[in-house]
């Protein structure tokens, strides 16, 4: 531990890490609510592992992973940054993810490819709304976690309360493996409950040096009680140590360590540590926990894929000798072209080799392979099973694509992007900028699946959609700064969507002359509603496929159905929570029942069916958490009522009142100013997308009259 502080300047060690046994690899992410301290914790990790030789700070805009201009100006993480470091023989591939709700897609695609995660919680704020969101995302991908209660030096810090909130709100089996020494400004270190030793950090060395000693006398009883509870919970869940515990009534540190690792990997337990990253205390034990408790690629189940030819499920083991299977989980613009971030699940990727993309059914060549260190990169020759890196030189790959061996092609589950909830109109300032604007927005959309670009058929305006005001602000700022595009930008507006409320089947015949040639085809389309949050599905029945003379016609029908879904029937908003199925098709004449005929029949037939299926508008609903002084609760609740809000529950946290509510997003414009005015600047709030709900009758009429 001899990494002593130097004058602050950027000095990165981006040499490639030594080849490491797969059992020693840790692919992890740092996830949390905004301002919980993810980036600050990541910066300390890089410092203590020797990757940087001076610590940057978020508030000074000089951290390693927040490298974008927009991140440094705003003091927030916008894009997930991949870095690599080593700790006690383990190679750690780490992704620092955003905490702001507008950039939740970055968390989603990161967790999709990671083996483990560190959940960071504020010792004062506890389990906050975005904490719950990222926890659910990790649950969805079965990612094992350890928890780090940060900001123990802050006034109002309460370690025990945060642990209890993890149990109550997240339904997590959170078990402390450390206790804090001191609290608030008196926090100086932690008690290691496995070794039953104190660890006190040295301020002069930025926490790089620490003293291991005896537990302070005043904390010994608490430590013994917590250790007994830890042993009991571990023994209850792990048969491997149950016998030893029943015999001795205690467990050794090594026995505990092995059992906690098994329970963490199986997601039966979440070990909880504590510290204050900003004050350089508690991060090295967190690194130990990453190495000890989080899984290697070998500890994870074999990856499940679908065979491209048979449609049957197959598995791919994390072995470099297996056939290649890998997933493109992120695309980023680079000075020399696009970077395609990839996780290799089996086999190996080598510079210069050909890979197969099952979606496009095309072969692509890997021109270069790189390992990333934030926005810096170093070329490498190979990525093996379990590795995370980036490819340079692909042409047609998109986020969520599988790259595999052409010998036995298979595809992995794609990454699902959430529905954008806000949009704005954007147009070039001059005709000369039109093509550049379109190309630039397509580049942004390729990087970020939650950034969507479309042209309004009625107005001819280009519409840019995103996850919120901040997301759209960042996208527009990038267009101006990075892509040098001059554009006129409209005000952000809520992205309503359409759906249907009744199932229906409609027959439709398309028969027209276009360009001097007849095109004719008949189709029977079923449209039905899906449960909220199910998205949109289009498919062709087996009978319909069998009736088509050419498989390309099936693709045309699918494209036509999706075109209809994406353009809606009430006010041209995209549709969601809907399934459209081509039940039957009729080839009127092989000469005229061509691709144009079937695609047109699918689009127009879908619209006719959807119009008869009682279509309605849906609006995005936000989950809102307000922290307010008790004396202002009445004003806050009255304001929520005027915004069509629904209060879910209320709780006391310290001397503040917490209000949980659901509010339509359309009613939340200008809320920051309103809440400050209502509470004399003493309240704060955070919100995140919750779901979509049917709009009231008056809002429906307003949307139809636009």
One-character DSSP codes across 660-694: EEEEEGGG-TTHHHHHHHHHTT--EEEEEEEEEEE
Instruction: Match 């309503």 to its residue by tokens.
Output: 496
Rounded Cα distance, 263 and 235, in Å: 10
The residue length of the chain stands at: 706
Helical spans, DSSP H, in 612-679: 633-642, 671-679
Residue-level pLDDT at 350: 92
End-to-end Cα distance, the chain: 65
Residue-level pLDDT at 375: 63
Rounded Cα distance, 586 and 578, in Å: 24
Rounded Cα distance, 163 and 143, in Å: 19
Rounded Cα distance, 267 and 138, in Å: 11
Rounded Cα distance, 73 and 62, in Å: 10
Residue-level pLDDT at 13: 43
Rounded Cα distance, 437 and 483, in Å: 8
Q: Following CA atoms 465, 466, 467, 472 in sequence, which dihedral angle do they give, to the nearest 10 degrees?
A: -120
Residue-level pLDDT at 440: 86
Rounded Cα distance, 625 and 686, in Å: 5
Rounded Cα distance, 139 and 166, in Å: 14
Q: Which is nearest to 283 in space by CA: 90, 118, 172? A: 118
Residue-level pLDDT at 552: 87
Residues 6+ apart with CB under 8 A from 61: 72, 73, 75
Rounded to the nearest 5°, which phi and psi values hold at 9?
-155, 160
| Average pLDDT by stretches of 10, the chain with 706 residues | 33 45 90 84 89 65 52 56 86 80 78 92 88 88 95 94 94 96 93 96 88 94 95 92 87 94 96 94 95 94 89 90 91 75 92 92 90 76 90 87 92 84 84 82 84 74 83 85 84 90 95 89 95 90 90 91 93 92 91 90 95 94 89 93 93 86 90 87 82 91 86
Q: Which long-range contacts (CB under 8 A, 24 or more apart) does 511-515 make?
A: 511/588, 512/600, 514/596
Q: Extract the tokens encoding 323.
A: 């056939």
Residue-level pLDDT at 429: 83
Angle at 64 between CA 62 and CA 66, to 5 degrees: 75
Residue-level pLDDT at 9: 33
In angstroms, the Cα distances linking 157 to 132, 375, 682 are 19, 34, 19
- By the 8 A CB rule, do 436 and 444 touch? no
Residue-level pLDDT at 80: 65
Rounded Cα distance, 315 and 373, in Å: 31
Residue-level pLDDT at 364: 92
């Amino acid at each position: 531990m001899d990494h002593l502080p130097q004058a602050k300047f950027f000095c990165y060690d981006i040499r490639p890490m030594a080849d490491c046994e797969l059992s020693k690899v840790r692919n992890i992410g740092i996830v949390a609510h905004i301002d919980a301290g993810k980036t600050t914790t990541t910066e300390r990790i890089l410092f203590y592992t020797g990757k940087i030789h001076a610590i940057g700070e978020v508030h000074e805009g000089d951290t390693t992973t927040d490298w974008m201009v927009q991140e440094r100006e705003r003091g927030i993480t916008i894009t997930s940054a991949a870095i690599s470091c080593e700790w006690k023989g383990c190679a750690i591939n780490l992704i620092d993810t955003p905490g702001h709700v507008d950039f939740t897609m970055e968390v989603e695609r990161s967790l999709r490819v990671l083996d483990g995660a560190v959940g960071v919680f504020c010792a004062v704020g506890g389990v906050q709304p975005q904490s719950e969101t990222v926890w659910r995302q990790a649950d969805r991908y079965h990612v094992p976690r350890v928890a780090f209660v940060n900001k123990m030096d802050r006034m109002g810090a309460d370690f025990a309360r945060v642990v209890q909130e993890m149990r109550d709100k997240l339904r997590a089996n959170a078990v402390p493996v450390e206790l804090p020494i001191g609290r608030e400004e008196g926090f100086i270190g932690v008690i290691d409950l496995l070794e039953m030793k104190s660890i006190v950090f040295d301020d002069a060395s930025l926490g790089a040096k620490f003293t291991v000693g005896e537990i302070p006398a005043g904390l010994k009883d608490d430590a013994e009680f917590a250790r007994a509870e830890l042993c009991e919970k571990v023994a209850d869940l792990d048969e491997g140590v149950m016998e030893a515990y029943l015999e001795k009534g205690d467990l050794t540190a090594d026995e505990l360590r092995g059992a906690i690792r098994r329970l963490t990997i199986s997601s039966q337990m979440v070990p909880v540590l504590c510290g204050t990253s900003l004050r350089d205390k508690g991060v090295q034990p967190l690194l130990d926990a990453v190495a000890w408790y989080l899984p290697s690629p070998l500890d994870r189940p074999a990856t499940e894929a679908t065979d491209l030819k048979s449609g049957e499920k197959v598995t791919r083991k994390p072995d470099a000798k297996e056939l290649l299977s890998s997933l493109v989980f992120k695309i980023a613009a680079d000075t020399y072209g696009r970077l395609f971030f990839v996780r290799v699940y089996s086999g190996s990727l080598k510079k210069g080799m050909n890979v197969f993309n099952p979606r496009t059914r095309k072969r692509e060549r890997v021109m270069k392979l790189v390992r990333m260190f934030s926005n810096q990169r170093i070329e490498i020759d190979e990525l093996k099973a379990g590795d995370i890196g980036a490819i340079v030189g692909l042409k047609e790959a998109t986020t969520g694509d599988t790259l595999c061996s052409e010998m036995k092609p298979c595809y992995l589950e794609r990454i699902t992007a959430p529905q954008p909830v806000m949009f704005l109109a954007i147009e070039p300032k001059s005709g000369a900028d039109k093509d550049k604007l379109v190309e630039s927005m397509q580049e942004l959309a390729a990087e970020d699946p939650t950034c969507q670009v479309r042209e309004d058929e009625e107005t001819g305006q280009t519409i840019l959609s995103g996850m919120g005001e901040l997301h759209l602000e960042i996208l527009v700022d990038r267009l101006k700064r990075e892509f040098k595009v001059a554009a006129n930008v409209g005000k952000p507006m809520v992205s309503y969507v359409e759906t249907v409320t009744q199932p229906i089947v409609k027959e439709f015949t398309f028969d027209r002359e276009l360009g001097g040639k007849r095109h004719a085809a008949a189709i029977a389309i079923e449209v039905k509603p899906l449960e909220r949050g199910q998205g949109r599905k289009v498919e062709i029945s087996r009978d319909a496929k069998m009736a088509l003379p050419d498989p390309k016609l099936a693709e045309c029908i699918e494209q036509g159905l999706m075109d209809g879904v994406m353009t809606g029937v009430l006010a041209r908003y995209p549709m969601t929570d809907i399934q459209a199925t081509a039940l039957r098709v009729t080839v009127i004449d092989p000469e005229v029942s061509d691709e144009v005929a079937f695609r047109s029949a699918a689009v127009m037939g879908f619209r006719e069916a959807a119009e008869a299926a009682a279509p309605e508008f849906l609006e995005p609903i936000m989950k809102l958490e307000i922290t307010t002084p008790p004396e202002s609760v009445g004003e806050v609740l009255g304001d929520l009522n005027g915004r069509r809000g629904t209060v879910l529950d209320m709780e006391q946290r310290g001397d503040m009142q917490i209000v949980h509510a659901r509010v339509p997003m359309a009613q939340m414009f200008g809320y920051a100013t309103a809440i400050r005015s209502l509470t004399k600047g003493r309240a704060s709030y955070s919100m995140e997308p919750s779901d979509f709900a049917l709009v009231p009758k008056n809002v429906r009429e307003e949307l139809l009259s636009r």
